[in-house]
Amino acid sequence: MWTDTANPAPNRAAPNDRRIASPADAQALIDGLRETMAALEKVLTVETEHLRVGRINDGLADNERKSALTSAYLQGLEALKANAVALARFAPQGLEILKTEHAAFARAIETNQIVLATARAVSENLVKGISEELGRSQRPQVYGASGPQHRPAGGATPLLVSRNL
């Protein structure tokens, strides 16, 4: 009924709006997704190797590229889903190759997620240990008839972390 003439809707075709009409189109879509998966797998492998040896800053340095490749990958999956019937008809062999490569890609993602979870757990344990140690050193020691007594802490001492270091 009413239209916004000052701000019309952007006219951009999403990748999943592209319809496959020929074997060449089907193979192009499959090849594009395979290339995106290969590039993303390389980024994930580098990230995983850096995180495994404790170089967290190096491992997380390529986040922008990883985000762009992840977005392209998800858009490619949407296009693949939207054209599943045409792909099965026009490029069944390419689809089988894609499925095989996707299984290897899924294993790389799983490995990356395990390493990320491990790095997160180690970091949390380090910060928690440092915080407890700082809190322990600031806790007053009280002496009673039976020797040293420790009062239970009223709360954890806040830990301030500077990211500028």
pLDDT tens-digit map of 81-95: 999 999 999 999 999
CB-based contacts of 136, cutoff 8 Å, min separation 6: none
Residue 72 lies in a domain: yes
Give residue 47's domain range: 19-138
Residue 125 lies in a domain: yes
Q: Is 73 helix (H, G, I), strand (E, B) or coil?
A: helix
Q: Tell me if 137 sits within 8 A of 72, measured CB to CB.
A: no
Look-up of token digits 């002496």: 143
Q: Tell me if 59 sits within 8 A of 50, measured CB to CB.
A: yes
Residue 74 lies in a domain: yes
Both tokens of residue 34? 């395979």
pTM, two decimal places:
0.71
Convert the pLDDT of each residue in 70-121 to its tens digit. Answer: 999 999 999 999 999 999 999 999 999 999 999 999 999 999 999 999 988 9
Convert the pLDDT of each residue in 23-66 to its tens digit. Answer: 999 999 999 999 999 999 999 999 999 999 989 889 889 999 99
Residue 101 lies in a domain: yes
Residue 152 lies in a domain: no
Residue 57 lies in a domain: yes
Look-up of token digits 């910060």: 127
Residue 8 lies in a domain: no
Report the number of distinct structural domains present in the chain.
Answer: 1
Both tokens of residue 129? 């240990």
Q: Can you give the C-alpha Rg of the chain in angstroms? A: 27
- What ranges make up the beta strands (E) of the chain? 141-144, 147-150
Residue (of 80, 76, 70, 64) closest to 40 by Cα position:
70
Residue 109 lies in a domain: yes
Q: How far apart are CA 23 and CA 111, in angstroms?
A: 35
Which helix (H) or strand (E) is 101 found in, with range? helix 92-138
